[in-house]
A = this chain, B = another copy of it.
Amino acid sequence: MPKRVDHGLRRRQITDAVCRITVRGGLQAATFREVAAEAGVSVRLVQYYFGTKDELLLSTQRHVAERATGRIVAAVAATDGRPRAALRALLGSFIPVDQESRDNMLVFVALHSAGLVDPTLARPEARQVPDALYETVRSRLQEAAPLPPGVDADLEAAVLVGLVPSLAQGVLGGTYDADQAFTILDYALTRALGRPPGHTGGAL
């Protein structure tokens, strides 16, 4: 019986290799030759599955996004489902707290900044994750109505979604540690939603 090849698994082995190489030396280190060596396959196979470097990077971006989405959905599901807890889990899942989440965020940042320069990488599908994040944050804010005076769910969602990549990169770059990043996030959530119920005043 001929061996069945799981093409999805093969493709993922290769995009995982792109991620590991990018973490070590940036996207520019991810040549077909290096990626093939890292994945333990032939250059010809990488070419067969992905054709061009752009296609390889787009697929990597898609795989990173899928993995991130999985983690985020699990983090939100583990909360009590109230808007504040859900928003904290959702937005906080971008803040690197261990090596795996650091690596994921590094790859994400590298691909995002490559996409700004290279229009091929900035295809509409690269916007699906940020757009979905914005919509989710906005609808969680709307669920939490009435919001404090002056809070507009649409604009507040843009502020929160805009803040999170900077916190994540601040942790990666050493400006903040994860605790400080969460302190800033909690402050922003309190400004958006009001003080958590049961809070008796004092410091935020």
Which stretch in A3-11, A39-47, A112-120, A135-143 binds the other chain?
Answer: A112-120
Chain B residues with CB under 8 Å of A175's CB are 127, 130
Chain B residues with CB under 8 Å of A170's CB are 162
Task: Assess whether A22 is interfacial by the CB under 8 Å rule.
Answer: yes
Given contacts A159-B187, A184-B162, contact A26 B109 (CB under 8 A): no
| Candidates B23, B167, B195; contact of A162 at CB < 8 Å | B167
Tell me the number of copies of this protein: 2
A131-170 interface (Cβ within 8 A of B): 150-152, 155-156, 158-159, 161-163, 165-167, 169-170
A175 to chain B, nearest CB (A): 7
Interface residues in chain A, defined as those with a beta carbon under 8 Å from any beta carbon in chain B: 22-28, 106, 109-110, 112-118, 122, 127, 130, 150-152, 155-156, 158-159, 161-163, 165-167, 169-170, 172-175, 183-184, 187-188, 190-191, 195, 204
